[in-house]
Structure 1
Amino acid sequence: MPSNSATTYDYIVVGAGSAGCVLAARLSEDPRNQVLLLEAGPPDRSPWIHLPIGYGKTMWSPVYNWKFETDPDPNMNGRRIYWPRGKTLGGSSSINGLIYIRGQAEDYDHWAALGNEGWSFADVLPYFIKSEGNERGDSPFHGGKGPLLVSDIGARHELIEAFIAGAVEKGVPRTDDFNGASQEGAGYYQLTTRNGLRCSTAKGYLTEAKKRPNLRIETNAQATGLVLRGKRVVGVNYQQHGQARTAMAGAEVILSAGAIQSPQLLQLSGIGPRKLLESLDIPVAHDLPGVGENLQDHLQIRLGFECTKPITTNDQLNTLLGQARLGLEWLIHRSGPLAVGINQGGCFMHALRDDHGRPVTKTPDIQFHVSTLSADMAGGKVHPYSGFTMSVCQLRPESRGYVRIRSRDALQPPSMQPNYLDTQLDRDTNVAAVRAARAIAESDAMRPYVKREVKPGRDTQSYDELLEFCRNNGATIFHPSGTCSMGHDAMAVVDSRLRVHGVKGIRVVDCSVMPTLVSGNTNAPVVMMAEKAADMIREDARQLAAA
């Protein structure tokens, strides 16, 4: 396209990530729909994207990762927290930790109770099933034929078995399905992989869809703003190869740029809090105070241990012979650490308890990610000793932050302030989570494997000391959400059909629309939301045509 032309499509999807790939694939199933998918990053051609352990490489890639940083967080002793986000086809589903978790049924029932009709667990379960291609096949809770491939971790690992046994000692049941009738339990995660390779939404949904003549995919195309006529969005401005371009939408524009950049694009386009927009001399197209507010994220607290036995991935990665064995295991069997990525085991349990030892919450309030390797941070260089990691996070944080543009420059990252640990409940739960991890490490099952607790170290014992450890070491577990919240209150941004309040021709479909964060990893829920959104978009189009 010449830089001064404006081609018209029916639907423009901004962001080819976990949601955008699903939407582009589903909307283009109808050959009458002309669909444009815009992605700011390059195609997903790197082998590190498709090899699960490549997570450690893409975590720091300036090509495939936005490499965001938060503002200094006063609750984290002024630290800036590194926020990696995917910048390629598949978005964060191309660089994430691959864990397939839906959250708790109560999460979605809570959304419905807030007035979001159609978002109860009974409403969304069919879309989870539709999207899922689980190697276990069809069941009341699972789909076996969907595009998002989900697989078991094949080999059992001695350390993970010890962790599970330790959790059982502490009253947590063993489970083989965190996405079944109950989330509570300890066991192995299922991953979005098949035959030792990652299944991103680009791979699962776009592989066939990109062959359709009615779907156009533009990479290296960063959206810079929306085109409005009055209170209606009619197109998207974007930059590609140094040129300014415009694409027009006859039906709708769908923002799937994520919890950071979807609100950023709305604000840049004059849709957002009036005070913020006027402070930057941006004409107010629609005063919508909730855009960018309500930011939520899972804070990850990593406990590191030295292992008594040379059975960790550290031991394999730290020698040439070990690396060769890893490679052969993957080449011959498509198994082993290269096929798994980072975290193998997990646990959902109650950490915070009252004075009588009873759980404070009805459902599990913390999640474990257990890795057979150790490093100073996620994706970092492994330690020279036999090591493993237990990461814990609070599932439903109360703390709220914000995303706000700093200038009218669309290429400048916005201000991101998570306000971690801003409430007493969050502080108490994180300290309780660290103590729960220690309790499992001290169990009869795990004690033979623990040579020493490296982090935080046994000298750190009191509530205040553990809280300070959380402030100094906590990091994101990559689930920012909530910044274009779904609802009907004064701070809601979209309605229950994900249409932006007060503006026609635009929806938001990504993590930003979650009114409250789900209890677990966010990739599977976003895929579900996109599947449901595609149906809603088609339904609304039929009703409009029939009117």
Structure 2
Amino acid sequence: MASKTGHEDSESYHFVLAGAGSAACLIASRLSQQLPDHRILVLEAGEHLQNDAKVQTPGLSGALQGDSSYDWDLASQPEPGLNGRTIPHPRGRLAGGTSAINSHSVVFPNHEWQDRIAKDLLPESGRADWSAQGMQDCYDRWHVVTDRENDGGSEECIRTCYPHELDELQKRWHPAFEELGHVSPATAFAESSPGAVTITNAIDASKGERSHAATAFLEPALARGNVTLKTGVTIDKIVFDESRGGDGKLSATSVRYTDHGETSLVSAKEIILCAGVFGSPVILERSGIGSKIVLAAANVPVLYELPGVGENLQDHLNCSLSIEVNDDVPTRDNVLRSPDLQRASSMEYERSHTGRLAEGPAHSFAFTALQLLETPAETEELVKATKQHLQAETKPGLSAQYSLIQSAIQSPTEATASTFLLRCQRNRDLDSLPPGTPAMVPGNYATVVAMLAHPFSRGSSHITSPSPSQYPTIKFNYLSHPLDTEIFARHLRLIERLFHGPTFASLAKPNGRRLPRSCPKPVETLEEARGILPINAATNYHPCGTCAMMKEEFGGVVDERLRVYGTGNVRVCDASVLPVIPRGNILAAVYAFAEKAAEIIVREVKAEQSRSVEQT
């Protein structure tokens, strides 16, 4: 039923976007360009922090995470698969969303993943839009490569860059994988090929500054005059008309939000939720759309039962191994341990926007297929186990998703993990060590991290109260599916193969230390690798899937036009709509899906305008 309380905003908008995160900023930009006569309102809980030094400086991304001025500071419930650890999940609390606080790496999905989503999870009517061919321009449009002399021109897009100069470890990354028989694959949105790549980071090399959604998309849109941004507001819920349309669907009339303690209603012809993987399902549930069990427990009346809301939560877990390298191999360990070197880096950045703080931490990645890891017999053993688990799955949605993952496992070219290089030590097992154990150890390290590409484990994020001030209950259920552990363990063995190859062996310090400290020796067996995971696995901060774009009978929340099932004028577009997590960092897919969302909306608006002209 429509709300009878709250102050009515005197203005009405064609579109209200809930959230000013990565997807919302891009959508606002494209709609304001292509529909100049349409008025757009963007509601954001955080602030628009223009010219903020912490946000602009690439090397300070770690300082933003955990700071409530920039981060929602969310966390999971204790995770049984990770020895009961509570896992923090930074999410951007400012215009630009998480693109304004993340660590910059740009990793693209592969064609096969995109095609399978279109073919296996969507109806026929959505396949042309969401196939790899239909999405190619969307992946190309949102970014441009810059260097110190080239600022990327005037296009409204994210500025990216390659490293200004490769250091010793980065130069050795490609040869290490060539020793395994794999040359460098394509770095952009393309068909899969295993091997090492040097990727871009979302940094404007001409300025030495972070490039994020608010600077690239939102600020130009605001300058055009048909976009309004309201910050510091808390979105309560969507308000629907008391009567349903002729098609039986709910029709949204307005968004209820709180601004400095005052409740307001703003009306819109269409509402687009872009509040993120945790925020968008929360708004739907508070609005009466979701599982009747969840809504009943939270004392929210059910307007449309949609059990998939808040379900299907996925994330990339990673686990790393480190070797101590020779003293003459430059790494970042000395800087991490030395306040003097950190001050010198800060002074250099202040003078010229160059040096360590002008760079992202990771440019060296690899797409590692299962066939890189095992003998044919070992591969077939895991493929057989996968088939058995698939046959036992009774839920249609999970069965369809697992079949998609199975295809990647069976492919000799598709990544079952994305692997990347860090030029420093990495300690994720401190909680398991005696109190007082130092956070860092002496020495100079190369760390190789395996990130499980397509986990089978699924979690959830749900409200427990109708109050907008209460955070959702987040459960990832990491490593709850046994196949995740089996695939992950094999990728740790691949890291050992890299370390024993000629390239890394020539860099390794004789009798040098090994990390993690909870396993200070080479990993020799699958059993040892399995044992490392609960202690040392960590998140890559890539949550997605809670408002999945899938058929409704599969547990989907939005259809192929990103409309929420059961509604006529509510859409979702952010990381929550990704039905199956892509192989690498998810931001490239989020931007591309936002490009497609804008494309679909503009197409629908222009079709409606054409019909109106014909009728007159």
Alignment of 1:273-312 (within 5 A): 273-309=291-327, 311-312=330-331
Whether the 8 Å contact between 2:45 and 2:234 is mirrored in structure 1 is yes
Q: Which amino acid aligns with 2:72?
A: W
Whether the 8 Å contact between 1:375 and 1:383 is mirrored in structure 2 is no
Compute the displacement of 1:457 (Å): 2.1
2:599 matched to 1:535? yes
* CA distance in 1: counterparts of 2:193 and 2:31, whole angstroms: 32
1:484 aligned residue: 547
Q: Which has the larger radius of gyration?
A: 2
Question: Cα gap change, 1:143/1:516 in structure 2, threshold over 3 Å: closer, same or farther?
Answer: farther
The C-alpha deviation readout for 1:472-509, integer Å capped at 9, x for no partner, is 22121111111111122421111101001111210000
SS at match of 1:521: coil
Give the unaligned 5+ runs of structure 1: 137-141
The C-alpha deviation readout for 1:86-128, integer Å capped at 9, x for no partner, is 1111101001111112211111101111224221110001111
Compute the displacement of 1:324 (Å): 4.8
Question: Cα gap change, 1:223/1:354 in structure 2, threshold over 3 Å: closer, same or farther?
Answer: farther
Compute the displacement of 1:394 (Å): 1.2
**Alignment TM-score, normalising by the size of structure 1:** 0.92
Match of 2:267 among 248, 253, 265: 248
* CA distance in 1: counterparts of 2:552 and 2:301, whole angstroms: 24
* CA distance in 1: counterparts of 2:453 and 2:252, whole angstroms: 36
2:156 matched to 1:122? no
Q: Which moved more, 1:394-403 or 1:534-543?
A: 534-543
2:396 matched to 1:392? no
1:508 aligned residue: 572
Q: Which amino acid aligns with 1:91?
A: G
1:185 aligned residue: 195
The C-alpha deviation readout for 1:266-312, integer Å capped at 9, x for no partner, is 01110001121122221111111111111111111132333322611
Compute the displacement of 1:333 (Å): 6.0
* CA distance in 1: counterparts of 2:194 and 2:216, whole angstroms: 29
The C-alpha deviation readout for 1:11-62, integer Å capped at 9, x for no partner, is 1111111101011112222331111111111222431111111111012211
* CA distance in 2: counterparts of 1:229 and 1:437, whole angstroms: 57
Greater helix content: 2
* CA distance in 2: counterparts of 1:377 and 1:49, whole angstroms: 25
**Alignment TM-score, normalising by the size of structure 2:** 0.82
Q: Which amino acid aligns with 2:40?
A: V
Compute the displacement of 1:143 (Å): 12
Question: Cα gap change, 1:370/1:333 in structure 2, threshold over 3 Å: closer, same or farther?
Answer: farther
1:343 aligned residue: 362
Compute the displacement of 1:239 (Å): 2.2
1:453 aligned residue: 514
Alignment of 1:98-497 (within 5 A): 98-114=104-120, 115=122, 116-117=126-127, 118-135=129-146, 145=155, 147-175=157-185, 177-180=187-190, 182-195=192-205, 196-230=208-242, 231-249=250-268, 251-309=269-327, 311-327=330-346, 330=349, 334-351=353-370, 353=374, 355-356=376-377, 360-362=409-411, 363-376=414-427, 385-450=443-508, 451-455=512-516, 456-458=519-521, 461-490=524-553, 491-497=555-561
Greater strand content: 1
Match of 1:74 among 69, 77, 80: 80
2:8 aligned residue: 5
Match of 2:32 among 17, 28, 35: 28
Match of 2:47 among 33, 39, 42: 42
* CA distance in 2: counterparts of 1:402 and 1:320, whole angstroms: 41
Whether the 8 Å contact between 1:176 and 1:188 is mirrored in structure 2 is no
Compute the displacement of 1:412 (Å): 1.2
SS at match of 1:211: helix
Question: Cα gap change, 1:485/1:181 in structure 2, threshold over 3 Å: closer, same or farther?
Answer: closer
Whether the 8 Å contact between 2:106 and 2:587 is mirrored in structure 1 is yes
Q: Which moved more, 1:322-331 or 1:480-489?
A: 322-331
Question: Cα gap change, 1:421/1:376 in structure 2, threshold over 3 Å: closer, same or farther?
Answer: same
* CA distance in 2: counterparts of 1:382 and 1:409, whole angstroms: 42
Q: Which moved more, 1:343-352 or 1:397-406?
A: 343-352
2:247 aligned residue: none
Question: Cα gap change, 1:181/1:275 in structure 2, threshold over 3 Å: closer, same or farther?
Answer: closer
* CA distance in 1: counterparts of 2:421 and 2:352, whole angstroms: 23
* CA distance in 1: counterparts of 2:154 and 2:424, whole angstroms: 31
SS at match of 1:24: helix
- Percent identity over the alignment is 28
* CA distance in 1: counterparts of 2:66 and 2:446, whole angstroms: 21
Q: Which amino acid aligns with 1:223?
A: I
Compute the displacement of 1:396 (Å): 1.0
CA root-mean-square deviation: 2.5
* CA distance in 1: counterparts of 2:156 and 2:46, whole angstroms: 26
* CA distance in 1: counterparts of 2:46 and 2:155, whole angstroms: 29
Compute the displacement of 1:179 (Å): 4.1
Whether the 8 Å contact between 2:157 and 2:216 is mirrored in structure 1 is yes
Question: Cα gap change, 1:301/1:110 in structure 2, threshold over 3 Å: closer, same or farther?
Answer: same
SS at match of 2:295: helix
The C-alpha deviation readout for 1:292-348, integer Å capped at 9, x for no partner, is 111111111132333322611121343355335534654566443212222131111
SS at match of 1:410: coil
